[in-house]
């Protein structure tokens, strides 16, 4: 074998080791958590302490949900405009042995509930997302903003036997209208029983909707947090 081929083989082996190590590390993180908290929520966008968009719009809010919890429900979804929604007609979730139920057998296109409105998201009914500066016109800081996310998709990480190790869900909100501005703190989590509320109540009565009020909902994940700046129009 030539030295060039040896270098290619060596590089391939290193790449496989790196990928396997990353996958193993994530799997271990999930396994290290209790069965009641086998889901990780992350803000992929915006970046922490970043200034986003132009004039209060033209930026993305992207949330990753990584789970080994067979109880987490997710539907693929694409929302084209405020009145048309494309949903998969088959629920895609884990079965008890962590294999995927499906496959998705088609889509339905038609009028549905308002897509670009606050409240619980049909595609990810367990997701709760709140901003500290949501204006009163949209329901205030306790209003769940999850239904503003227009796109939801996912992929399954399989082991060598084809069994699902964990599911990677990504949901995207394209912010196209200026609604608030200034420094914004966003929180996101998954609620037990896939039953996120339309509005998060002030559980401890301190006048502030924050992490403690999310915990009071009964969570199956960590609470993801990111602070970013939205330039005013």
Residues 25, 121 within the same domain: no
Residues 174, 70 within the same domain: yes
Is the backbone of residue 172 left (phi > 0), alpha (psi -120 to 50) or beta? Answer: beta
Residues 119, 16 within the same domain: no
Q: Quote the pLDDT of residue 139.
A: 94
Q: Quote the pLDDT of residue 30.
A: 47
Pairing assessment for the beta strands 51-52 and 224-230 based on DSSP bridges: parallel
| Spatial separation of the C-alpha atoms in residues 46 and 171, rounded to whole Å | 13
Tokens of 157: 């990480």
Residues 52, 152 within the same domain: yes
Residues 83, 17 within the same domain: no
Q: Quote the pLDDT of residue 64.
A: 96
> What DSSP element (H or E) covers 27?
helix 3-32
Residues 71, 123 within the same domain: yes
Number of domains present in the structure of the chain: 2
Q: In what order do the strands lie in the sheet with 127-131?
A: 51-52, 224-230, 182-190, 127-131
**Burial environment of residue 160 by CB neighbours within 10 A (0 to 12, 13 to 18, 19 or more):** exposed
Residues 60, 101 within the same domain: yes
Q: Which domain holds residue 5?
A: 1-32
Q: What is the mean pLDDT of each run of 10 residues along the chain (233 residues)?
A: 55 44 48 60 96 92 92 72 51 42 39 65 90 93 93 80 82 88 96 95 95 96 96 85
Residues 157, 204 within the same domain: yes
Q: Quote the pLDDT of residue 43.
A: 97
Residues 4, 115 within the same domain: no
Q: Quote the pLDDT of residue 11.
A: 54
Residues 44, 105 within the same domain: yes
Residues 10, 89 within the same domain: no
Residues 28, 53 within the same domain: no
Q: Quote the pLDDT of residue 193.
A: 92
């Amino acid at each position: 074998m030539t030295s060039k081929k040896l270098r290619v083989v060596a590089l391939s082996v290193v790449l496989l080791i790196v990928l396997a190590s990353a996958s193993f590390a994530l799997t271990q993180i999930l396994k290290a958590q209790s069965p009641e908290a086998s889901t990780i929520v992350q803000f992929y966008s915006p970046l922490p302490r970043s200034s986003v968009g132009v004039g209060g719009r033209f930026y993305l809010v992207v949330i990753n949900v990584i789970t080994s919890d067979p109880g987490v429900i997710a539907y693929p979804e694409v929302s084209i405009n405020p009145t048309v929604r494309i949903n998969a007609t088959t629920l895609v979730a884990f079965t008890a042995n962590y294999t995927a139920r499906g496959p998705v057998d088609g889509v339905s296109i038609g009028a549905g509930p308002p897509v670009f409105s606050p409240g619980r998201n049909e595609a990810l009914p367990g997701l709760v997302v709140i901003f500290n500066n949501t204006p009163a016109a949209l329901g205030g800081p306790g209003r769940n903003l999850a239904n503003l996310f227009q796109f939801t998709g996912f992929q399954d990480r399989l082991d060598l036997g084809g069994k699902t190790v964990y599911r990677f869900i990504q949901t995207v909100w394209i912010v196209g209208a200026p609604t608030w501005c200034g420094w914004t703190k966003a929180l996101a989590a998954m609620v037990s029983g896939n039953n996120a509320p339309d509005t998060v109540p002030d559980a401890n009565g301190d006048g502030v909707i924050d992490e403690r009020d999310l915990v009071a909902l009964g969570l199956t994940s960590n609470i993801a947090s990111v602070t970013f700046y939205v330039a005013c129009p």
